[in-house]
Amino acid sequence: MSAIHSSHLPASAILLIHCPDSKGIIATVSEFIYQNNGNITNLDQHVDLEREVFFMRIEWELDNFIIPNEKIGEYFDTLIAKRFQMQWQLHFSHEVPRMALFVSKQPHCLYDILARWKSQEIEVEIPLIISNHPDLETVARQFDIDFHLFIINGENKREQEQEQLALLAKHRIEFIVLARYMQILSEEFISHYRNRIINIHHSFLPAFPGAKPYHSAFERGVKVIGATSHYVTRELDAGPIIAQDIIRVSHADSVEDLIRKGRDLEKVILSRSIWHHLQRQILVYQNRTLVFS
Amino acid sequence: MSAIHSSHLPASAILLIHCPDSKGIIATVSEFIYQNNGNITNLDQHVDLEREVFFMRIEWELDNFIIPNEKIGEYFDTLIAKRFQMQWQLHFSHEVPRMALFVSKQPHCLYDILARWKSQEIEVEIPLIISNHPDLETVARQFDIDFHLFIINGENKREQEQEQLALLAKHRIEFIVLARYMQILSEEFISHYRNRIINIHHSFLPAFPGAKPYHSAFERGVKVIGATSHYVTRELDAGPIIAQDIIRVSHADSVEDLIRKGRDLEKVILSRSIWHHLQRQILVYQNRTLVFS
Amino acid sequence: MSAIHSSHLPASAILLIHCPDSKGIIATVSEFIYQNNGNITNLDQHVDLEREVFFMRIEWELDNFIIPNEKIGEYFDTLIAKRFQMQWQLHFSHEVPRMALFVSKQPHCLYDILARWKSQEIEVEIPLIISNHPDLETVARQFDIDFHLFIINGENKREQEQEQLALLAKHRIEFIVLARYMQILSEEFISHYRNRIINIHHSFLPAFPGAKPYHSAFERGVKVIGATSHYVTRELDAGPIIAQDIIRVSHADSVEDLIRKGRDLEKVILSRSIWHHLQRQILVYQNRTLVFS
Amino acid sequence: MSAIHSSHLPASAILLIHCPDSKGIIATVSEFIYQNNGNITNLDQHVDLEREVFFMRIEWELDNFIIPNEKIGEYFDTLIAKRFQMQWQLHFSHEVPRMALFVSKQPHCLYDILARWKSQEIEVEIPLIISNHPDLETVARQFDIDFHLFIINGENKREQEQEQLALLAKHRIEFIVLARYMQILSEEFISHYRNRIINIHHSFLPAFPGAKPYHSAFERGVKVIGATSHYVTRELDAGPIIAQDIIRVSHADSVEDLIRKGRDLEKVILSRSIWHHLQRQILVYQNRTLVFS
């Protein structure tokens, strides 16, 4: 198993489930855990009444749990999941995921993530930083992380992405964070990390398409600016939303002020999304997230 | 049964539980509902790890539930609650609670609540408004609600409260909302409506004791003002917090501006608390609420 | 003069100005007021460096001001405005503006405005409410305000608007608030009240065009919903923004919850915009507002 | 002159003024600037009507200004300030202030400030970091800044502070930021940097005195936690407030969650305060700030 062990938390299992709604799901799953001597510490569920879909995140302590960790998935699938046509994922809290950071020129999100990692606020391995610009190599060096430069142009994109994928595979990367990575990923690349690439982008009320959204927002005199983090899908910036927030602005703010205030928003929301992802709080269903936090 | 029936929502039962934490509670309760043909539509639980207390709010549809409504409490108590030493409350979504409003001179919270009631945003009966000042009788009249004036002074307080209690009992009032009622309730009065009197008051960072907190806040140059709603306990403004929020202010705001902005906060938070109370989302434990919303 | 007099505030004059930026504007204007024995109580200015436009709101006490109120505009225009090519508006704080409310079926904004008016939070005359549906006549009656029903269809729209305009003129209406008025105003109608019709609408990140934006927002799993107030221009919902704010939501919120939470946002923001308008804090320039608050 | 020059902004002068309110102040000051060929780019003023005090921040471009920079203060004092009994400060936008950071064990504020500094979001010199614990020396090293350890106990406090003051003087430090420095400064120390030491601390509604406020807040079930930055005065945490904000929490948040969420708040608010200080936007009067932003 690739993950290293997190020492200071009691080991627990986390199960994320969705399936057609029907009676008895909670009773059956909680009974399964109870009968095998597990102690449920967290259960969040939600029923989408319109689509008739049931969602659940359930966490239990592994101490004295009768089924060995490596068999839990198999047993759960055989005994319960098939019966309810469940889609499920099983995670263990003591496994530390491996994350890759993709960056370009702007350092604010990168610094924020690395500071949290270095001060152990987030438990994650960061084996490497990938960039399409050399600018942030100095930041990578400050934090002693390998920096890989992939300069991408119209001709070499496919090839470069293949090398990136090979590198990610070699480092057993579980999920990717685009920390202001200004390069569109190909559908093929995304298909390798479905619901495992987190992006952050500014958002406005109303939305401003085009190349310079902050300038448009300024010209429209908006009173709030926002940021949205989401999982990357092939439709640009249209993937399942993980977190959103806004900051108030006024006519006195210049375009530069908007951009500066937007940075604070972006870094906090992106890091909050990484937190949710690491806590296995996010369930994706039909381009929509449920965040059980 | 005192409540009238709410027609446009499917009838469901809501159970609020807390008990010493132990394995198997969720399994047992959900099995109880499932075996009796109930469909769980909502389950929220929380474990207070430090105090080792388990909390749960569980809601299920009553259609086809085998146990008749009037027997659910008895069966649950006998079969489950005793075994786990549970404290529990049972509510039915189709029962419309009866609420009394207490007011003094300021109309903003009163108007906000009555407008929501009149436009059926909240489903509640409001048989009467009680006040210690005549000022808001006109508002009561606008909404065709009985207005009862109880002028209170040092001498008649006990007597007046007794009459208020008699009136509340006569109208089978389930809970009371102090919509800017500027009169301290006696311990005895409160004891009749434990965790059933909702109050709203301004709050500041830092706190400003004394008679004119808005003036103190102004003089201290605070940048946010807040409001807090809570259940009334005998210690003034120290009961279990239901909801809190703040609004940003600046040096340019006069004391009057602070008070005006505070009003918007107060009315929205008080109405939000009424909503939580009506949805039976609030569980109180040791001067602390859990709001399962 | 059509306005009644506001008694409890010291009378002051408010001048809103914009002009090409140049040196000496503040000095010249403030000298003009000072030389004529005015005491400036508020001065807000802003320079749009990119467009090289100067904006200012300046307020001074009229006590002992040498120029009579009815001559201030003329003197200012002759002595100063022409020299700097200023566009300007002059208001007097003791004049109470006359406002018309346009509504359809939803009462939340209407109630909020009327409650503020009735409790004298806002000083404004409300001679009439206009609606394209009969539903809210009861609310108008609760507050003793004339209610005028104009049922509008494809054929009679122009005619009905002409009658509305006549009615507004007759009542010397200065500005109009669309308190959830679900009817598009014609260009001609708008041209009579340029930057004097305030509208409120929900807004989302990202934007959801189409008939059912709340449903789209729900399906996209947004984490915030917003509302925007603006002056009405002929491009639908694209006029100068006055105020915006958001509220946080989650996957647990149904479409109905989003709509309900949106209402709280809408009413508070619309009323905040009315406040800014009444305080003469809003300057419009090229489809953008400056709100000097 | 101690400060280095900031190259990419047009040089401007910033004057912060307060004085007894009287007619003609704005006219006189703006005339002074205009007559000497200055172009005002920003003017913010405020009148405290109760105390009858006038406040102003005025900024103008120095290009072609007739009075040489080093004489502006003298001329202004002679010609204007004395006449109106003004207290005033003059700053130049092209002077880059020198800041010292004081830290203890928690790195979140330190990282946030250094990242902004390194990416040139804030223009400031940081010649040294002072700490009473060795823990954060590694962070100082990551950013190549001198780290000075002053271990302080009951006996050596006065002596250590004297050495700190000598060190600060030697490095010509203009202002100090306590980035979670867990050591109370003596009155004497503070007197050397009056309104020039910025601190950040958590704040709650209601306030929780005592050693473990986050635990108290948790036990009280608060729904928001806050943070406040202020200038340090001898009364602990009671100095003039610069910025405040809050974050929403729920019963589901553990004490550790509150502390973690509090960190995000603390770092953003502290950095926002540094921004205001660097922009010379803060005026302090009688333990209250005016922040002209």
ipTM value: 0.93
Of the candidates D44, D237, D245, D257, the residue annotated as catalytic is D237
> What is the least distance, in Å, from the CA of B207 to any CA of chain A?
25
Three-class SS state of D25: helix
Three-class SS state of C19: strand
Give phi and psi for D164, each to the nearest 5.
-60, -45
Q: How far apart are CA A161 and CA A151, in angstroms?
A: 10
- Does C7 have pLDDT greater than 70? no
- Does D3 have pLDDT greater than 70? no
- Respond yes or no on whether the N-terminal peptide bond of residue B206 is cis (omega within 30° of 0): yes
| Contact: B33, A41; criterion CB under 8 Å | no
Residue B7's pLDDT is what? 44
Q: Which helix (H) or strand (E) holds B168?
A: helix B157-170
Residues of D at the A interface, defined by Cβ within 8 angstroms: 106-108, 111-112, 115-116, 118-119, 121, 142-143, 252, 260, 263-264, 268, 271, 293
| Contact: B263, C142; criterion CB under 8 Å | no
Q: Which residues of B are catalytic?
A: 237
- Across the range D210-234, mean pLDDT stands at 90
Residue B205's pLDDT is what? 67
Express the helix, strand and coil content of chain B in percent, nearest 5 each: 35, 30, 35
pTM comes to: 0.95
- Does A207 have pLDDT greater than 90? no
CA dihedral D165, D166, D171, D172 (to 10 degrees): 70
Please tell me which of the candidates C107, C119, C264 has its beta carbon nearest to residue B268.
C264
By the 8 A CB rule, do A107 and A136 touch?
yes
- pLDDT per residue as tens digits for the range A48-61: 988 999 999 999 99
User: Among residues D213, D217, D187, D183, which one has the least CA distance to residue D199?
Assistant: D183
Q: Which helix (H) or strand (E) holds C34?
A: helix C25-35
Q: How far apart are CA C114 and CA C140, in angstroms?
A: 9
Q: How far apart are CA B31 and CA B83, in angstroms?
A: 15
Residue A211's pLDDT is what? 74
Please tell me which of the candidates A116, A142, A268 has its beta carbon nearest to residue D142.
A142
User: Among residues B225, B229, B240, B220, which one has the least CA distance to residue B286?
Assistant: B240
The residues pairing with C125 across neighbouring beta strands, listed in sequence order, are C98
Q: In what order do the strands lie in the sheet with D87-92?
A: C87-92, C12-20, C53-61, C39-48, D39-48, D53-61, D12-20, D87-92
> What is the least distance, in Å, from the CA of B181 to any CA of chain D?
20
Q: Which residues of C are catalytic?
A: 237
Q: How far apart are CA D125 and CA D135, in angstroms?
A: 23
| Contact: C112, B107; criterion CB under 8 Å | no
Residue of C nearest to B268 (CA): C264
- The 3-class secondary structure across chain A, one letter per residue, is CCCEECCCCCCEEEEEEEEECCCCHHHHHHHHHHHCCCEEEEEEEEEECCCCEEEEEEEEECCCCCCCHHHHHHHHHHHHHHHHCCEEEEEECCEECEEEEEECCCCHHHHHHHHHHHCCCCCCEEEEEEECCCCCHHHHHHCCCEEEECCCCCCCHHHHHHHHHHHHHHCCCCEEEECCCCCCCCHHHHHHCCCCEEEEEEEECCCCCCCCHHHHHHHHCCCEEEEEEEECCCCCCCCCEEEEEEEECCCCCCHHHHHHHHHHHHHHHHHHHHHHHHCCCEEEECCEEEECC
Residue C32's pLDDT is what? 97
Residue A16's pLDDT is what? 98
Residue B3's pLDDT is what? 38
- pLDDT per residue as tens digits for the range C210-261: 678 888 889 889 999 999 999 999 988 889 999 999 999 999 999 999 999 9
CA distance to A132, B287, D269, per residue, from D108 (Å): 28, 33, 12
CA distance to A96, A152, A157, B130, per residue, from A162 (Å): 26, 12, 9, 74
Please tell me which of the candidates A23, A40, A248 has its beta carbon nearest to residue B26.
A40
Q: Which residues of A are catalytic?
A: 237
| Contact: D43, C43; criterion CB under 8 Å | yes
Q: How confident is the model at residue C209 (pLDDT cuts 50, 70, 90)?
A: low
Contacts of C271 in chain B (CB under 8 A): 264
Q: How far apart are CA D16 and CA B198, in angstroms?
A: 47
Contacts of C34 in chain D (CB under 8 A): 23-24, 26-28
The percent of residues above 70 in pLDDT, for chain D, comes to 96
- Across the range C131-140, mean pLDDT stands at 98
Instruction: Read off the amino acid at residue D162.
Output: Q
Strand pairing category for A53-61 and A39-48 = antiparallel
Q: How far apart are the first and last CA of chain C?
A: 27
Q: DSSP letter at B278?
A: H
For chains A and B, what is the number of CB pairs under 8 angstroms? 53
Residue D2's pLDDT is what? 36
Which two tokens mark D188? 């004497």
Contacts of C111 in chain B (CB under 8 A): 111, 115, 118-119
Neighbours of chain A (3+ CB pairs under 8 A): B, C, D
> What is the least distance, in Å, from the CA of D145 to any CA of chain C?
37
- Across the range C76-80, mean pLDDT stands at 98
Q: How far apart are CA B254 and CA D49, in angstroms?
A: 9
- Rg over alpha carbons for chain A, rounded to the nearest Å, is 21
User: Among residues B197, B262, B253, which one has the least CA distance to residue B225?
Assistant: B262
| Contact: A223, C241; criterion CB under 8 Å | yes
| Contact: A118, D112; criterion CB under 8 Å | no
- pLDDT per residue as tens digits for the range A81-136: 999 999 999 999 999 999 999 999 999 999 999 999 999 999 999 999 999 999 99
Q: How confident is the model at residue D206 (pLDDT cuts 50, 70, 90)?
A: low
Please tell me which of the candidates B34, B39, B47 has its beta carbon nearest to residue A41.
B47
- Does C2 have pLDDT greater than 60? no
By the 8 A CB rule, do B90 and B76 touch?
yes
Q: How far apart are CA B189 and CA A105, in angstroms?
A: 65
**All domains of chain B, ordered by start, with CATH?**
4-92 (3.30.70.260), 98-291 (3.40.50.170)
By the 8 A CB rule, do B218 and B255 touch?
yes
Q: How far apart are CA A114 and CA A128, in angstroms?
A: 12
Residue A69's pLDDT is what? 97
Q: How far apart are CA B168 and CA A265, in angstroms?
A: 50
Selected for mutation to probe chain A from C215, C224, C256, C258 (highest A CB count within 10 Å) is C224
Alpha carbon A125 to its chain's center: 14
- Rg over alpha carbons for chain C, rounded to the nearest Å, is 21
Give phi and psi for A245, each to the nearest 5.
-160, 170
Residue D205's pLDDT is what? 66
- Across the range D254-258, mean pLDDT stands at 94
| Contact: A115, D118; criterion CB under 8 Å | no
| Contact: A34, B27; criterion CB under 8 Å | yes
User: Among residues B178, B129, B133, which one has the least CA distance to residue B153?
Assistant: B133
Q: How confident is the model at residue D131 (pLDDT cuts 50, 70, 90)?
A: very high
Residue C206's pLDDT is what? 67
- Per the prediction, chain C carries an average pLDDT of 94
Instruction: Read off the amino acid at residue B186.
Output: S
- Across the range A152-172, mean pLDDT stands at 97
Q: How far apart are CA A190 and CA A195, in angstroms?
A: 9
- pLDDT per residue as tens digits for the range B228-238: 999 999 988 88
| Contact: B37, A43; criterion CB under 8 Å | no
Residue A205's pLDDT is what? 66
Instruction: Read off the amino acid at residue A286.
Output: Q
> What is the least distance, in Å, from the CA of D284 to any CA of chain A?
22
Selected for mutation to probe chain B from C264, C275, C276, C291 (highest B CB count within 10 Å) is C264
- Rg over alpha carbons for chain B, rounded to the nearest Å, is 21
Mean pLDDT is lowest, of A31-35, A236-240, B105-109, B270-274, for A236-240
- Does D215 have pLDDT greater than 50? yes
Please state, as a whole number, how many other Cβ atoms lie within 10 Å of the Cβ of residue A64: 10
| Contact: A293, D252; criterion CB under 8 Å | yes
Q: Where are the alpha helices (DSSP H) in C171-254?
A: 187-192, 213-220
Residue of B nearest to A30 (CA): B27
Which two tokens mark D121? 């979001």
Contacts of D268 in chain A (CB under 8 A): 264, 268
| Contact: B31, A33; criterion CB under 8 Å | no
Selected for mutation to probe chain D from A264, A278, A279 (highest D CB count within 10 Å) is A264
Contacts of B26 in chain A (CB under 8 A): 26, 30, 34, 40, 43
Q: What angle do CA B88, B92, B94 make, to 5 degrees?
A: 165
- Across the range B46-51, mean pLDDT stands at 91
CA distance to B6, B14, B243, B291, per residue, from B281 (Å): 18, 9, 12, 5
- Does B1 have pLDDT greater than 60? no
| Contact: B115, C115; criterion CB under 8 Å | yes
CA distance to D216, D217, D220, D260, per residue, from D211 (Å): 9, 12, 15, 18
Please state, as a whole number, how many other Cβ atoms lie within 10 Å of the Cβ of residue B267: 28
CA distance to B196, C203, D222, per residue, from B238 (Å): 15, 38, 11
Q: How far apart are CA D179 and CA D199, in angstroms?
A: 7
- pLDDT per residue as tens digits for the range D47-85: 998 899 999 999 999 999 999 999 999 999 999 999 999
For chains A and C, what is the number of CB pairs under 8 angstroms? 93
| Contact: A223, C244; criterion CB under 8 Å | yes
- Across the range B250-278, mean pLDDT stands at 96
Q: How far apart are CA D208 and CA D206, in angstroms?
A: 6
- Does A220 have pLDDT greater than 60? yes
Q: How far apart are CA B173 and CA B185, in angstroms?
A: 17
Please tell me which of the candidates A115, A271, A293 has its beta carbon nearest to residue D107.
A115
Residue of D nearest to A140 (CA): D142
| Contact: B111, C108; criterion CB under 8 Å | no
Which comes out higher in pLDDT, residue A50 or D103?
A: D103
By the 8 A CB rule, do C91 and C12 touch?
no
> What is the least distance, in Å, from the CA of A19 to any CA of chain B?
14
Q: How confident is the model at residue C189 (pLDDT cuts 50, 70, 90)?
A: very high
Q: How far apart are CA D225 and CA B205, in angstroms?
A: 10
- pLDDT per residue as tens digits for the range B193-209: 999 999 999 887 667 76
By the 8 A CB rule, do C19 and C85 touch?
yes
- pLDDT per residue as tens digits for the range B107-162: 999 999 999 999 999 999 999 999 999 999 999 999 999 999 999 998 999 999 99
> What is the least distance, in Å, from the CA of A11 to any CA of chain B?
15
Alpha carbon D215 to its chain's center: 29
Q: How far apart are the first and last CA of chain B?
A: 27
Half-sphere exposure of residue B124, counting CA atoms within 13 Å on the CB side?
28
Residue of A nearest to D268 (CA): A264
Residue B213's pLDDT is what? 84
| Contact: D290, B251; criterion CB under 8 Å | yes
